[in-house]
Chains A and B, each alone.
Chain A
């Protein structure tokens, strides 16, 4: 416990009694980071995700081949020094395709999270905060969406909307927001009754202001954790859509779609189906690991 007596910035962060709200917040963040970093598997997940972002960003520089370049003479060559992950039925380099596929996967996951989190948060906090009829109506809508397994719902929407990445994102978002709304509502219900919200009310703060400045910040940690963990499911579902031919369309190097075409050839060329699957597995594993670590830090009440 020597750091209790340290000076400077570290000492400021470790001071047993914070002197200001800003210091308290900085200490919270610092402690959270320390706890997250202490969780080695969570850190590994985060590092892997960062790596994916870099790979997606620098895909043209990293990929050894053009992902669309066909080479009929090099069809279905097994993994070798020239093609680390082998080539597919049209002689395209699988590694390069997986590298470009990272872009699609991250695009879908991030866009879906960006739609689902605010929608779920707004619907949930409004329902929880106002209660009564508003709550009843909104929650019945949530119930209706929750009555379907998310894959089935996404499938139905994507059939109606037509295949394609953007439609897949819409379908995935439509299927993924209700659990977030329900979570935000549950959190709001406990906050709504707290004394500090009552105090804000008595000082004349408007409902909107209370929701914005008190309720939403309190819901945010658990919502962020849940959205992160849900991204793993979104990645799997998106791959499933691609696999069924309802997501990204060939020749797009989306991992699920690659699996689906690789399927026909896998009995003779295992790498065609194995490699994209491993990419999906590792990505969703990394999301799960990072999400679990995030939960331990942000949402300690859980478990």
Chain B
């Protein structure tokens, strides 16, 4: 693991008015450096709320606590809102799920990218515009000039997500959180969008936290994987070592996937075991 940028220890998120009696996130710990970390889990496992908590953008009804939540040694829990504004975008940024909803519908996409740049960089409108156009080209958008002045509803989902990537990477953050960046997209463009993201992240040496429910996808893009279930990390494992996963939940997820290298028939639906809720947790194997 590279030198950690972000350290999270024992993160808990509790929602006011929750009737189940179980917190949304219960004691999640991890570290990320300039690497690619995947967080996998089904819906409701707390993976998205974990991502938002890092930026302190959880809903008002959520109560976030942790024994440690640090970015480059700076305590995020006690950071002021003003300081958080400097961190957001500039140091830690986030790509949301669906460009149809996550782009302001009444603002030209170019303007939205320019805004993201100018929040953190002293630049006049013209320079910022040039940067934005360059960024659009960097995410493989041809005819950037034309796209710059389009409104979000005039671009396709794949292009919208590439615009989102451009917007979130233009201030050159150290870490980018991608929260289900491809699940709202057509299957045909998913890989293409991820490749663009991957390319930029690698070129800039940005840390990536890829949040997804798709184990295959995460395994093929990330270095390390956290498997979350019901608000807890059940297993942390190197992507290359996934075959040797030890937690029954991870194993069940692997067994539920179709494979190219061998015949799996029938695909198994994971049977949830109540003991996973509070059962043992598997860390990365030493020396692997």
The answer on direct contact between A and B (beta carbons under 8 Å) is yes
| Chain A interfacial positions (CB closer than 8 Å to B) | 1, 4
Q: Which residue of A lies closest to B22 (CB)?
A: A1
Q: B21 near A: Cβ within 8 Å?
A: yes
Q: Which residue of A lies closest to B19 (CB)?
A: A1
Chain B residues closer than 8 Å to A4, beta-carbon distance: 21
Q: A6 vs B18: C-alpha distance in the bound complex, in angstroms? A: 18
Question: Which residues from 1 to 53 on chain B have a C-beta closer than 8 Å to any C-beta of chain A?
Answer: 19, 21
Q: A4 vs B21: C-alpha distance in the bound complex, in angstroms? A: 10
In the assembled complex, how far is the CB of residue B61 from the closest CB belonging to chain A, in whole angstroms? 15
Q: A1 vs B21: C-alpha distance in the bound complex, in angstroms? A: 6
Q: A129 vs B19: C-alpha distance in the bound complex, in angstroms? A: 37
- What are 3 contact pairs spanning A and B, CB under 8 A? A1-B19, A1-B21, A4-B21
Q: A1 vs B19: C-alpha distance in the bound complex, in angstroms? A: 7
In the assembled complex, how far is the CB of residue A190 from the closest CB belonging to chain B, in whole angstroms? 21
Chain B residues closer than 8 Å to A1, beta-carbon distance: 19, 21
Q: A85 vs B202: C-alpha distance in the bound complex, in angstroms? A: 81
Q: A279 vs B21: C-alpha distance in the bound complex, in angstroms? A: 46
Q: A1 vs B22: C-alpha distance in the bound complex, in angstroms? A: 10
Chain A residues closer than 8 Å to B19, beta-carbon distance: 1
Q: Which residue of B lies closest to A31 (CB)?
A: B19
Chain A residues closer than 8 Å to B21, beta-carbon distance: 1, 4
Question: Which residues from 216 to 241 on chain B have a C-beta closer than 8 Å to any C-beta of chain A?
Answer: none
Q: Which residue of B lies closest to A2 (CB)?
A: B21
Q: A4 vs B20: C-alpha distance in the bound complex, in angstroms? A: 9
Q: Which residue of B lies closest to A4 (CB)?
A: B21
Q: A1 vs B17: C-alpha distance in the bound complex, in angstroms? A: 11
Among all A-B residue pairs, the 3 with the closest Cβ atoms: A1-B21, A4-B21, A1-B19
In the assembled complex, how far is the CB of residue A4 from the closest CB belonging to chain B, in whole angstroms? 7
Q: A117 vs B21: C-alpha distance in the bound complex, in angstroms? A: 41
Q: A276 vs B21: C-alpha distance in the bound complex, in angstroms? A: 51
Q: A255 vs B28: C-alpha distance in the bound complex, in angstroms? A: 64
In the assembled complex, how far is the CB of residue B24 from the closest CB belonging to chain A, in whole angstroms? 15
Q: A1 vs B18: C-alpha distance in the bound complex, in angstroms? A: 10
In the assembled complex, how far is the CB of residue A245 from the closest CB belonging to chain B, in whole angstroms? 51
Q: Which residue of A lies closest to B21 (CB)?
A: A1
In the assembled complex, how far is the CB of residue A195 from the closest CB belonging to chain B, in whole angstroms? 22
Question: Which residues from 130 to 147 on chain B have a C-beta closer than 8 Å to any C-beta of chain A?
Answer: none
Q: A4 vs B22: C-alpha distance in the bound complex, in angstroms? A: 13
In the assembled complex, how far is the CB of residue A198 from the closest CB belonging to chain B, in whole angstroms? 28
Q: A4 vs B19: C-alpha distance in the bound complex, in angstroms? A: 10
In the assembled complex, how far is the CB of residue A211 from the closest CB belonging to chain B, in whole angstroms? 35
In the assembled complex, how far is the CB of residue B114 from the closest CB belonging to chain A, in whole angstroms? 34
In the assembled complex, how far is the CB of residue B20 from the closest CB belonging to chain A, in whole angstroms? 8
Question: Which residues from 163 to 188 on chain B have a C-beta closer than 8 Å to any C-beta of chain A?
Answer: none
In the assembled complex, how far is the CB of residue B143 from the closest CB belonging to chain A, in whole angstroms? 41
Q: A167 vs B94: C-alpha distance in the bound complex, in angstroms? A: 63
In the assembled complex, how far is the CB of residue B19 from the closest CB belonging to chain A, in whole angstroms? 7
